[in-house]
Amino acid sequence: MKVALITGAARGIGAATAMQLAGQGWAVLAVDLAADDPALPYPMGSAAELSTVVTEIRQNGGTAEEFAADVRDRAQLAEAVGEAERRWGGLDAVIGAAGVIAGGVPLWEMPPEQEDAVLDVNLRGVVNLARMAIPALLRRPEPRSGRFLAVASAAATRGLPQLAAYCAAKSGVAGLIRALAVELGDSGVTANAVSPGSTDTPILAESARLYDLPDAQAFAAQQPVRRLLDPAEVAAVLAFLAGPDSSAMTGAIVPVDGGLAL
């Protein structure tokens, strides 16, 4: 049985990816902060939502456990990695889907604590995850096929006004993935990312609020497909990247954006 660790698994793309992989026979450690962040003005994924994801996986015959951890805390991530290895004997895929958003004003007017949260969760959280989890991927015996995956964003290549810190963090994730791919070389572990467009998640709902839009649906018009993406559509690409058919891909930032970046 292949084993995956997924951060940001309480809802959105992380939850959809946990369900997708579990449905394909993976054992999934679903990791989330599962608590609100006092620096951010909207609710984070909750412990109840994380439990619901795991319960749904189990009800559908899959294997999953929940684990509360903050991606900004290396020690907590190390505990999560250790839990996956102890429970299932190793780790084959790691997916960094934890993310937050804040802004709505020019960068120089953004509250510093919100800027820190955006940079620390979206970028430093992926760096921390790589530092703590890639050694576990490399502990699998050769020939191995480990996968380190991250969720970037169309914001990595497209400047979004009043979301400068978010754009910076997601650009950093893309650069990190490219560098990790080179560092991992012929180890059998690859590093890739997906770059979603406007996806129907709580982050997009908060983005609509920051832009004083009536709801997230207002973002549909900016994508050539003229609709919001479903988290399951992004999860399907992450599941492909986690699997054996992506063996020739590393350092790729795969757009799953409904054409937003065109």
pLDDT in tens, 21-41: 999 999 999 999 999 999 999
Distance CA 137, CA 146 (A): 5
pLDDT in tens, 59-108: 999 999 999 999 999 999 999 999 999 999 999 999 999 999 999 999 99
User: How high is the pLDDT of residue 262?
Assistant: 86
Distance CA 130, CA 83 (A): 16
User: How high is the pLDDT of residue 25?
Assistant: 98
Domain boundaries in the chain? 3-256
Regarding pTM above 0.95, the answer is yes
User: How high is the pLDDT of residue 208?
Assistant: 97
- What percentage of residues in the chain have a pLDDT greater than 90? 99
pLDDT in tens, 232-257: 999 999 999 999 999 999 999 999 99
Q: Which band of pLDDT confidence, cut at 50, 70 and 90, is reported for residue 153?
A: very high
Distance CA 109, CA 146 (A): 42
User: How high is the pLDDT of residue 77?
Assistant: 98
May I ask the CATH architecture of the domain 3-256? 3-Layer(aba) Sandwich (3.40)
Amino acid at 114: Q
| Mean pLDDT value across the chain | 98
3-state SS assignment for residue 17: helix
Q: Which two tokens stand for residue 60?
A: 């559908």
Mean pLDDT of 218-226: 96
Catalytic residue annotation: 166
Q: Which band of pLDDT confidence, cut at 50, 70 and 90, is reported for residue 133?
A: very high
Mean pLDDT of 163-189: 98
Distance CA 109, CA 98 (A): 25
Distance CA 197, CA 177 (A): 18
- 243, with CB counted inside 10 A (0-12, 13-18, 19+), is middle
